[in-house]
Amino acid sequence: MYFTEQSQSVIDGAVSVRIKSADVITVYSTLEQVPFHRGFYSVDMTFFFDVAIEAFMSPGSCPVTVNGLAIHSKKVILYGSEGSVKTFTSEYNYDECDCKQLQPSQNLPKATVQVATPIALSAKVCECKCPCNPPCRIPESICRRFGGDFLQNGSMSVYATIGIFTIVQIERNVQMLIPAYDFCIPEKECVTTSDNPCEMFNRLEFPTNEFFPPTVCDIGDENKKPDCGCK
């Protein structure tokens, strides 16, 4: 973990630490095509956590709470298909500054990362034998959040274990074809039926076969197998 000068002085004098909570500040992600694998993209993610640490200056004393920065990197490879067209929008002006507007770009997918609330598992303090450089440049906005720059030459270091659940997705704008069918006007006029049960009964045919049971010949004709022409 990385601390400011004021927080690092507390960590240097601590005999033990305990993790209190962890919160995701932001996640930086980059998307690149995987060479020789069409349609596959690698998503490199860097997680920045605000971790609250309780430092004990002596056994049995009340803890002092300090906040530090934890950084974690992760990489996944996902399939996002491919596109060969360029997208232009009406918001783009060729003569304006490129940093203030949307530029025309290829039809590349977009990576999104969803992170659940982190689980603060454990933390330990140990002697720092060599300067611990961060794996990437810490943004200025995060430094302002903690009130200053982070030190890398403290005498003690804190290692925190954090559990996170993430969902990484690749999104792409696609065209969907939805068939549309013309409506048809009925040519025949609907015949209204009466709710009179007597009229409905009069339209039924007389069930003659119900009054004459089948004879032996009729049953034999039903059980006779059709001639297939084989001898």
60-73 pLDDT, tens digit per residue, is 888 899 999 999 99
SS3 61: coil
Helices and strands in the chain: count of H runs, count of E runs: 4, 9
- What is the spatial distance between Cα 61 and Cα 19, in angstroms, rounded to a whole number? 16
Look at residue 100 and tell me whether its pLDDT is greater than 60.
no
By CB atoms closer than 10 A (0-12, 13-18, 19+), residue 177 is exposed
> To the nearest whole percent, how much of the chain has pLDDT over 70?
76
**Encoding tokens for residue 98?**
């490129």
Q: Say which residues have a Cβ less than 8 Å from residue 74's Cβ, sequence separation at least 6.
A: 44, 45, 47, 166
Q: What is the pLDDT of residue 166?
A: 92
Q: What is the pLDDT of residue 165?
A: 93
Q: What is the pLDDT of residue 126?
A: 87
Q: What is the pLDDT of residue 21?
A: 92
Mean residue pLDDT of the chain comes to 80
Q: Please count the residues of the chain.
A: 231
pTM for the full predicted model:
0.66
Give the pLDDT band of residue 135 (cuts 50, 70, 90): confident
Q: What is the pLDDT of residue 192?
A: 64
